[in-house]
Chain A
Amino acid sequence: AQSVTQLDSHVSVSEGTPVLLRCNYSSSYSPSLFWYVQHPNKGLQLLLKYTSAATLVKGINGFEAEFKKSETSFHLTKPSAHMSDAAEYFCVVSALYNQGGKLIFGQGTELSVKP
């Protein structure tokens, strides 16, 4: 079975400093991994996805994530936080396409950005 574990339930950074949101995954096959962001009262938006191509994945709004098979990790980073980055972030693994492709979400990490 596939699963993801987000190691921090809450991360607080100052504006202009780096962001690191940690995620470990468990999968019996080569996984597809995603990061989604959820702003208050808004829908889930895809930040980036990994599907076995390049291990360093670039997403929207300056975010990127690196797939590390040896560490079973898929951490999300951004060099410089902006106030608008404050939101809930979800690390997600996908079931195989022939198993429906349903998404399995982590518990979420709330990112706070201080001025």
Chain B
Amino acid sequence: DTGVSQDPRHKITKRGQNVTFRCDPISEHNRLYWYRQTLGQGPEFLTYFQNEAQLEKSRLLSDRFSAERPKGSFSTLEIQRTEQGDSAMYLCASSKGLGQDTQYFGPGTRLTVL
């Protein structure tokens, strides 16, 4: 059990650029979640996958955001045409997907949009 990993840990970009983040969940975890945390706030749900299927998207996830989990393992979150309001910590979590089991979080990717 190597834990949830996220890459990169930090990303600085200019407004209007596209960025992509990667999340590697704990091996054999079926569910993968993305959350966003802005300064001084608790994390907010963005979307989640059950294996490769994206089953729910929050209304926070505008059409500039897209997430994939092509083979049911790692996931990517892409933000197109970044805006300063996208600056936040993007957190990934995974769980076995059995009942109300525990979600394990990665260290997050901190995005700064200049």
- Shortest CB distance B49–A (Å): 10
Instruction: Provide the residues of chain A in CB contact with B99, threshold 8 Å.
Output: 97
Q: Is the Cβ of B106 less than 8 Å from the Cβ of A103?
A: no
Q: Is B25's beta carbon under 8 Å from chain A?
A: no
Q: Is A43 an interface residue (CB 8 A)?
A: yes
**Residues of chain B with a CB closer than 8 A to A101's CB:** 31, 48, 95, 97, 100-101, 103
B90 within 8 A of A: no
Contacts of B107 in A (CB 8 A): 42-43
* B105 in contact with A44 (CB, 8 Å): yes
Interface of A is mostly: strand
- CB-CB < 8 A to B55: which residues of A? 100
Bound CA span A100–B102, Å: 13
User: When A and B form their complex, what is the total count of cross-chain residue pairs whose Cβ atoms lie within 8 Å?
Assistant: 54
Question: Which residues of the partner chain B approach A44 to less than 8 Å between Cβ atoms?
Answer: 43, 91, 93, 105
Provide the bound-state CA to CA distance between A46 and B42, in Å: 14
Q: Taking A51-B100, A102-B56, A103-B103 as contacts, is the C-beta distance between A43 and B108 under 8 angstroms? A: yes
A100 to B108, Cβ gap below 8 A?
no
**B65 close to A (CB within 8 Å):** no
Chain B residues with CB under 8 A of A112: none
14 A-B pairs in the complex with CB atoms less than 8 angstroms apart: A43-B107, A44-B93, A45-B105, A49-B102, A100-B48, A101-B31, A101-B48, A101-B101, A101-B103, A105-B43, A105-B44, A107-B42, A108-B40, A108-B41
Interface set of A (CB-CB < 8 Å, partner B) = 32, 34, 36, 42-46, 49, 51, 90, 94, 97, 100-108
